Each structure stands twice: as C-alpha cells, then as structure tokens.
C-alpha cells in the first residue's frame, strides 16, 4: 500500500498571479513551478519493447524479411510513460497501478526507482501479465528504422471487486493529501476504470484539485473529471460523429463533449493540425502545431501532452496556458524516436526560442 509523503508540496499560485507578464514569461514561470507540485497518476502501466534488426534477406519460407537482431530495449509506455514525462518535467509523480511478477513488470519498477519515482502505490500481482507492446523495427545500412509489426501481450481486465483493485483505491486515497492534481490514464487494461475512480473520489476525497483524463474507449463514462485531452479520433468515437476536415463539426463536437462530461476544459489533439482548447464560456483556442509537421515518431505523444497539461494545471495555470505548454511539449516529443519524454530544461529552452 502507498505511503503518503510527509512533505506537502507548496502549491503554486493561480494564473492571475502572472498578470502583467508577457506570454513567454508567464509560461516560463509555470514551467519553473513544476518542481513544487505533485501529481497522482492512476494508470494502466505498459511496457514498450523495441526489437531492432538489420535486414539480411527475404526468407525462402515466406515472402517476409529476415532481420538480423541488433538491439532490444524496454521502456515505460502507456500510463507509465505519462509518469516518466511528469518526472522529466520536474514534477513529483505518484503512480498507482498494476504490474505482473514478470520481466516487464520488474523492469518498470526498476526504471521508476532509478528516476526516484515512488513505487509503493504499484501492486505487483502474481500470475498477472504486464501489458507489453513489442514493436519490431527493420532497417538497412542506408535507411532509417521502420516498424514492420507490433505484438501485444496482455491480461483480461480484472473484475471491479478484485482485491488488487481495492488495493489500488486504498493506495490512491493515501496519496491524495500530497497531490496537487490527479491524472487518469485509461488504456482499457483495467487498472483505472470509471468505477475505480468513483471509489477514489467518494466522499469528496479529492477536494478541489484538478483531475485530467486520457481514456481511449470510455471517456464519457467518467464523472467528476475536470479536463480531458482526447485526440480527434477518440472524440469521433465517443460522440459517433465524423469530423474530417469539417471545422464547424470539430467546434460543435468539442462544445458537446464539454457539456456532456461537465468538464471545465477540453483539449482535442489533431496531429499535424495542432490542437484546439475548449473552456466554459470562452471562445475555443486553436493552436497550430509547434515546430515541424514532419514528425519522426508519434509513439506516446498523447502521454506527453496530458502530462504537461496536468502539470501546468497543478502549477496554477489557466486552460490556455496549460494547452500552449502541452502543444510545445507534444511538438518536441514527436521529433524523437520511440517512446520518449521532454525534460523541464528542453521545455524552457523551447520557450526561450
């Protein structure tokens, strides 16, 4: 079970404290305040495995490439990547989730410990398979690495009354007094569900701190969430609409989701088209993509966006400032290969430029 830190982080001031500053100055102040906040992350913890091989020849057995194995790496993915992004930004991340008693689970815990991320809120469940996404990358002497196949290993989600999930609720509630925000990273693997979140927030346990949500398949089932950061495809699925290049449909969908989920704010990410931030009683803010739209790798970019957005809200930022910072971070991370993070120093450098 998690143990609440005895050090209560100093809460950053509200964004009105930055009145009179230019936008870059205001954003820098928010990023500099990241070191003073803590974020509880209730998440599906995933391991991202990358197998890289040099193309040797075409197989005689089937029309497939034979790769000569060169490299294997295993890094935090899914909600675990959101945790790593928070830590890289200087935030105190407090993860709650499940891993199996297997190599992938042990590796995730080892990486967290190496980065001084507490692991007492993570339950290691015997017989459980740590969700692992294996990407096979092929390359030749004169070409970059290309993903040729992905293999997922996963367990069926646990029932709502499973003892391990009750333990997660207890761990999360113990962390709440030390948290300035809550991030829910729901990849559909069962460690965070609408039912589990309802138990965490029962009897107003969360108070007034912001709660952000990244849910792939059941976004509209969550109640009591402050903000969400879906991509355009997830919005289409949640509302059963087609947005495409219809700008008016995009704005209508954002307004409908904001109303239906009773959110204070919503950020819809649109890949190379940037993002749109919605807020109650305010005009939508359209933000073009930061940097080049010729991305290198989008793996885990959504985790970077919600981590940065949540950190900014926890530091007292308004929706527009938090969305701008998330856009900067997302634009930077897609220029890196694999599952990557953006550091506080990198974000400050981007703001200076």
Residues with a catalytic annotation lie at: 303
pLDDT number for residue 234: 95
Q: Radius of gyration of the chain from Cα atoms? A: 20
Residues 337, 353: Cα–Cα separation, whole Å: 22
Reported as a pLDDT band with limits 50, 70 and 90, residue 8 is: very low
20-34, 58-72, 240-254 — which is least confidently predicted? 20-34
Instruction: Share the mean pLDDT of the chain.
Output: 90
> Does residue 313 have a pLDDT over 70?
yes
Q: How many helices (H) and strands (E) does the chain have?
A: 10, 13
pLDDT digits (tens, 9 = 90+) for 174-200: 999 999 999 999 999 999 999 999 999
pLDDT number for residue 353: 77
CA distances from 107 to 74, 102, 128 (A): 8, 9, 15
pLDDT digits (tens, 9 = 90+) for 9-36: 444 445 555 666 787 889 999 999 999 9
Average pLDDT over residues 193-220: 93
- Beta-bridge partner residues of 153: 132
Average pLDDT over residues 54-67: 95
Average pLDDT over residues 129-155: 93
pLDDT number for residue 251: 95
Average pLDDT over residues 323-345: 85
Q: Give the rounded percent of residues in the chain with a pLDDT score beyond 70.
A: 91
User: Do 73 and 51 touch, CB atoms closer than 8 A?
Assistant: no
Reported as a pLDDT band with limits 50, 70 and 90, residue 37 is: very high
Reported as a pLDDT band with limits 50, 70 and 90, residue 273 is: confident
User: Do 48 and 311 touch, CB atoms closer than 8 A?
Assistant: no
Residue ranges of domains in the chain, CATH in brackets: 16-47+79-129+157-352 (3.40.1190.20)
> Does residue 262 have a pLDDT over 50?
yes
Average pLDDT over residues 81-89: 96
Average pLDDT over residues 92-102: 97
DSSP label at 34? G
> Does residue 3 have a pLDDT over 70?
no
9-18, 66-75, 89-98, 175-184 — which is least confidently predicted? 9-18
Three-state secondary-structure class, residue 107: helix
Question: What are 250's two structure tokens?
Answer: 């995009």
Q: Work out the burial of residue 199: count CB atoms within 10 Å of its CB; fewer than 13 is exposed, 13-18 middle, 19 or more buried.
A: middle
- Count other C-beta atoms under 10 Å from residue 279's C-beta: 19
> Does residue 285 have a pLDDT over 50?
yes
pLDDT number for residue 213: 98
């Amino acid at each position: 079970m998690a143990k609440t830190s005895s050090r209560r982080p100093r809460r950053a001031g509200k964004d009105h404290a930055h009145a009179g500053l230019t936008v870059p100055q205001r954003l820098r102040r928010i990023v500099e305040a990241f070191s003073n906040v803590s974020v509880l992350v209730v998440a599906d913890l995933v391991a991202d495995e990358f197998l890289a091989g040099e193309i040797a020849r075409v197989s005689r057995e089937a029309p497939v490439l034979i790769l000569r194995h060169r490299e294997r790496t295993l890094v935090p993915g899914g909600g675990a990547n959101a945790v790593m992004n928070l830590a890289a930004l200087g935030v105190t991340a407090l993860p709650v989730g499940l891993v199996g008693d297997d190599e992938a689970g042990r590796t995730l815990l080892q990486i967290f410990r190496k980065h001084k991320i507490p692991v007492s809120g993570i339950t290691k469940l015997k017989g459980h398979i740590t969700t692992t996404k294996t990407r096979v990358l092929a390359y030749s002497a004169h070409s970059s690495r290309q993903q040729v196949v992905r293999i997922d290993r996963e367990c069926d989600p646990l029932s709502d009354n499973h003892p391990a999930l009750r333990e997660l609720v207890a761990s999360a509630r113990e962390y709440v007094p030390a948290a300035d925000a809550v991030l829910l990273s729901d990849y559909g693997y069962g460690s965070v569900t609408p039912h589990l979140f309802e138990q965490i927030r029962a009897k107003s346990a969360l108070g007034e701190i912001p709660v952000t949500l990244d849910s792939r398949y059941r976004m509209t089932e969550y109640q009591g969430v402050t903000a969400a950061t879906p991509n355009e495809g997830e919005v289409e699925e949640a509302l059963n609409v087609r947005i495409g290049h219809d700008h008016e449909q995009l704005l209508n969908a954002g307004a409908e989701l904001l109303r239906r989920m009773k959110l204070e704010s919503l950020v819809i990410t649109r890949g190379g088209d940037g993002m749109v931030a919605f807020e109650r009683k305010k005009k939508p803010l359209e933000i073009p993509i930061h940097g080049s739209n010729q991305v290198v790798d989008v793996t885990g970019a959504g985790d970077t966006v919600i981590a940065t957005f949540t950190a900014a809200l926890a530091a007292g930022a308004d929706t527009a400032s938090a969305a701008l910072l998330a856009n900067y971070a997302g634009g930077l991370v897609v220029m890196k290969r694999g599952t990557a993070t953006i550091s506080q120093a990198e974000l400050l450098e981007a703001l200076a430029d």
